[in-house]
Amino acid sequence: MSFPYQIKTKEQYIAAWEKSVADPEGFWADVASSFLWRKRWDNVLQWNFTEPNVKWFSGGKLNITENCLDRHLGSLGSKPALIWEPNDPEEHHRLITYSDLHHKVVQFANVLKNNGVKKGDRVCIYMGMVPELAIAVLATARIGAIHSVIFGGFSAQSIADRLQDAQANFVITCDGAYRGNKEIPLKSVIDDALVQCRFVTKVIVLTRTHTPVSMIKGRDVWWEDEIKKVETMGNPDCPAEEMDAEDPLFILYTSGSTGKPKGVVHTCGGYMVYTTYSFVNVFQYNPGDIHFCTADIGWITGHSYILYGPLSAGATSLIFEGVPTWPDAGRFWDIVDKYKVNILYTAPTAIRSLMGYGLGPVKDHDLSSLKVLGSVGEPINEEAWHWYDENIGKGRCPIVDTWWQTENGGILISNLAGVTPAKPSYATLPLPGVQPVLVDEQGNEITGKDVSGNLCIKFPWPSILRTTYGDHERCRTNYFATYPGLYFTGDGCYRDADGNYRITGRVDDVLNVSGHRIGTAEVENAINMHTGVVESAVVGYPHDIKGQGIYAYIVYDSTHQEEQNLTRQDIAQTVTRIIGAIARPDKIQFVNSLPKTRSGKIMRRILRKIAEGETDSIGDTSTLLDPSVVEEIKNGKI
């Protein structure tokens, strides 16, 4: 593979960015020409941000899996597409070449068809990080069905909510998953979810952990049995379904400041073009490079930079089943050494957690294969940046700090490794095609340098979300109504004297815990389900490893002092059950009442200050119904 659109110098970056603004259609038509289309598009771009309605390459026909698999078979057939490193380093790893992967995807696509899955159907995938997860995703896309991957840490209730919202009739899961020293009974969680989801007609279960499971007659089938059936059919081919560029490819649920998580919808053509383009340019991928993205495929980072981007570029992508600290904190460095990884893409929270173990686990590993380091998920603090640079990159690997969101599909603001300069704690410059603007509260654009504001994007890029599943109005109000004519990110941002962007964090009621987005309202709703909870308010506070921790203030109906710890555990357990362990509060403070305005609105600003330990700068409390509440809460701080 060669990439005619690969940017190699800073001058080329500037020229590409300028062309992408002056002539976006010409720019993206050129990039898109390097892909495999069954039929070329009629229009490069049609758009308005009012409805919103965005269409890229409409009329173009393609299948993304032909771009990720079939087109590589000639030149890269015997090259590993996936390297799989199991949770337990003693277990054998797997190398899956492009032709193997093609074969397995075709096989499983036939399994899906045999089980009644059709184009446009929603297929929910709830699996651990095994190669079959990649196979399930690609097979779904191959037959034109819509995948909705749910991270293996989510609870039965979260799964049920997502299945209902997506009206998914099909589920693919595993008996269980390994994560560090834990075994997660995925199928049993699915069973609990399906009690509420009678519309699910088929569950395909892969054997991974041999955890005992119960299978429901007519509904549940084993992955392995279904593969055997396809083999007895003589392994027929499964030509890829022809998709319109604007047909949905997948739904991925993400939290917002209100209500339940929303199903972000990405479509086939623009998503393919942008993930590949950004993969090649940000990481400066060169043919032969081994790419290791440590995210889970259950998040957008895994979709775009473990699967679609790298595979469409013909790269070798590493899938790691385990966690960074088990059996010890040298796990990542083991893997880098073992497979001679060239590109490592991870999250600040992982770096900070590994920093805590000192340099012992790093030394004795040869990290000289590394060429590029990446960071994603939250602002990377300078300390972590320098540790990563000095101890992992040994001062010779550019670090790309990549800012983007589930809704964006791919990286929007980042330096390009070794091509444009890095600046610690800055995502730096927009990729070609991306036009960031800063606005004030009224939506007026803040121009110039050395300024801060709310980050918006004023022009569509090919992998912008198209809608939120089943509720387009929610998409409009969430992203396009705050500042008419602009896509609003929800992030605050600073632009320095050189035009570099530094993301300062969310400006809405959304937390970023270990690089994962969690809505405070969602956590509050879960807490409020606990009997005895009268009301609650959740805010974030700085956490050494997670970036943000979850601090819950709870008004509880008669807790006796001696029972408080038990009650806390009980409430935390409720949140784990309703959402998942990632949303479990780190701190719970019982209060007699919450600080409210006379109109009954909770003053979160005050609660945030207290949780952050900044009690001196609480500011004006005179608008509160009862200002004495603040003193009481301050005194009871955990």
Residue 379 contacts ligand WT7 per CB under 6 A: yes
Among the candidate windows 58-66, 124-132, 377-385, 561-569, which touches ligand WT7 by CB under 6 A? 377-385
In the complex, least distance from residue 510 CB atom to ligand WT7, rounded to whole angstroms: 8
Tokens of 113: 């068809």
| Of 100 and 401, CB closest to ligand WT7 | 401
In the shown chain, the binding pattern of residues 112 to 151 toward ligand WT7, with x for contact by CB under 6 A and - for none, equals ----------------------------------------
Kindly state the number of chain residues that form the binding site for ligand WT7, as judged by CB under 6 A.
23
Closest Cα to residue 425, out of 399, 446, 451?
399
Q: Helix crossing, 24-32 with 10-22: angle to 10°?
A: 120
Of 20, 107, 158, 254, the one binding ligand WT7 (CB under 6 A) is 254
Shorter beta-carbon distance to ligand WT7: residue 244 or 296: 296
178 or 385, CB closer to ligand WT7? 385
CA–CA separation, 456 and 468 (whole Å): 19
Figure out which of the listed residues 13, 403, 459, 541 binds ligand WT7, where binding follows CB under 6 A: 403
Question: What letter does residue 418 receive in the DSSP assignment?
Answer: T
Nearer to ligand WT7, 45 or 422 (CB): 422
How far apart CA 603 and CA 435 sit, in angstroms, is 34
Sheet of strand 262-267, all strands in order from the earlier edge strand to the far edge: 220-222, 202-206, 170-174, 122-126, 146-149, 248-254, 262-267, 467-468
Q: Please report whether residue 468 would count as binding ligand WT7 according to CB under 6 A.
A: no
Q: Is 346 in the site for ligand WT7 (CB under 6 A)?
A: no
Q: Are 42 and 60 in contact (CB under 8 A)?
A: yes
Give the nearest distance from C-beta 408 to ligand WT7 in angstroms: 7
User: Of residues 273, 376, 437, 579, which one binds ligand WT7 by CB under 6 A?
Assistant: 376
Q: Which of 86, 270, 322, 377 binds ligand WT7 (CB under 6 A)?
A: 377
Site for ligand WT7 in 163-182 (CB under 6 A): none
Q: Cβ neighbours of residue 245 under 8 Å, at least 6 residues apart?
A: 41, 55, 56, 57, 58, 59, 60, 61, 62, 267, 268, 269, 270
Among 149, 177, 265, 427, binds ligand WT7 (CB under 6 A): 427
How open is the CA angle 569-571-573, to the nearest 5 degrees?
70
The angle at the Cα of 548, spanning 546 to 549, to the nearest 5 degrees, equals 85
Only one of the segments 43-51, 190-198, 371-379, 534-542 lies at the binding site for ligand WT7 (rule: CB under 6 A); that segment is 371-379
Minimum Å gap between C-beta 196 and ligand WT7 is 26
Q: Which is nearer to ligand WT7, 401 or 522 (CB)?
A: 401
Q: What is the DSSP pairing of strand 43-48 with strand 53-58? A: antiparallel
**Least spacing, CB of residue 225 vs ligand WT7, in Å:** 36
For residue 119, count other CB atoms closer than 10 A to its CB: 12
Residue among 491 and 524 whose Cβ is closer to ligand WT7: 491
Interface with ligand WT7 in residues 513-542 (CB under 6 A): 515-517
CA–CA gap between residue 386 and residue 399 (Å, rounded): 10
CB of 376 to ligand WT7, least distance (A): 5
CA pair distance 241, 113, nearest whole angstrom: 12
Instruction: Compute the least distance from the CB of residue 604 to ligand WT7, in Å.
Output: 17
Residue 40, phi-psi category: left (phi > 0), alpha (psi -120 to 50), beta (remainder): beta
Residue 428, helix vs strand vs coil: strand
Determine if 553 is a binding residue for ligand WT7 (CB under 6 A): no
Q: Judged by CB under 6 A, which stretch of 86-94, 117-125, 401-409, 468-476 contacts ligand WT7?
A: 401-409
Contact 316, 292 (CB under 8 A): no
Strands (DSSP E) contained in 20-93 are 43-48, 53-58, 61-62, 80-85
Rule CB under 6 A: say whether 271 interacts with ligand WT7: no
- Tell me whether residue 322 or residue 409 sits nearer to ligand WT7 (CB atom): 409
Strand ranges, E, within 359-514: 372-376, 399-402, 436-439, 451-457, 467-468, 487-495, 501-506, 510-513
Minimum CB distance to ligand WT7, residue 316 (Å):
22
How near is the Cβ of 506 to ligand WT7 at its closest, in Å?
Answer: 5
Task: By CB under 6 A, name the one of 70, 220, 289, 401 that touches ligand WT7.
Answer: 401
Across 363-387, b (16+ Cβ under 10 Å) vs e yields eebebeebbbbbbbbbbbbeebbeb
Is residue 63 a contact point for ligand WT7 (CB under 6 A)?
no
Q: Indicate whether 275 belongs to the interface with ligand WT7 (CB under 6 A).
A: no
Shortest distance, position 480 Cβ to ligand WT7, whole Å: 16
Stretch that binds ligand WT7, among 136-144, 399-407, 433-441, 582-590 (CB under 6 A): 399-407
- Residue 300 lies near ligand WT7 (rule: CB under 6 A): yes
> Is 548 near ligand WT7 (CB under 6 A)?
no
Residue 434 lies near ligand WT7 (rule: CB under 6 A): no
Q: Give, in degrees to the nearest 5, the angle at Cα 453 between 452 and 454.
A: 145
Give the one residue of 63, 173, 353, 406 binding ligand WT7; rule: CB under 6 A.
Answer: 406
- E-strand stretches of 39-130: 43-48, 53-58, 61-62, 80-85, 94-97, 122-126
| Segment lying near ligand WT7 (by CB under 6 A), choices 133-141, 272-280, 372-380, 628-636 | 372-380
Name the helix (H) or strand (E) containing 343. Answer: strand 343-346
Report residue 130 as tokens. Answer: 């095994």
- Residue 266 in contact with ligand WT7, rule: CB under 6 A: no
Q: Which residue is nearest to ligand WT7 (CB)?
A: 406
Shortest Å distance, C-beta 10 to ligand WT7: 21
* Pair of tokens at residue 326: 């088990």
Give backbone dihedrals phi and psi of 379, rounded to 5 degrees, phi first. -60, 135
Task: Candidates 19-27, 210-218, 266-274, 404-412: pick the segment binding ligand WT7 (CB under 6 A).
Answer: 404-412
Residue closer to ligand WT7 by CB (options 93, 458) is 458
Q: Are 590 and 563 in contact (CB under 8 A)?
A: no
Contact assessment for residue 340 and residue 371, using Cβ atoms and an 8 Å cutoff: no
- How near is the Cβ of 314 to ligand WT7 at its closest, in Å? 23
Which of positions 476-515 make contact with ligand WT7 (CB under 6 A)? 489-491, 503, 506, 512, 515
Buried b (16+ CB within 10 A) or exposed e, 581-595: ebbbbbbbbbbeebb
For the stretch 438-445, contacts whose Cβ atoms lie closer than 8 Å and that sit 24 or more positions apart, written own/partner, are: 438/493, 438/495, 439/483, 439/486, 443/482, 443/483, 443/484, 443/486
Binding site for ligand WT7 (CB under 6 A): 254, 300-301, 376-379, 401-406, 427, 489-491, 503, 506, 512, 515-517
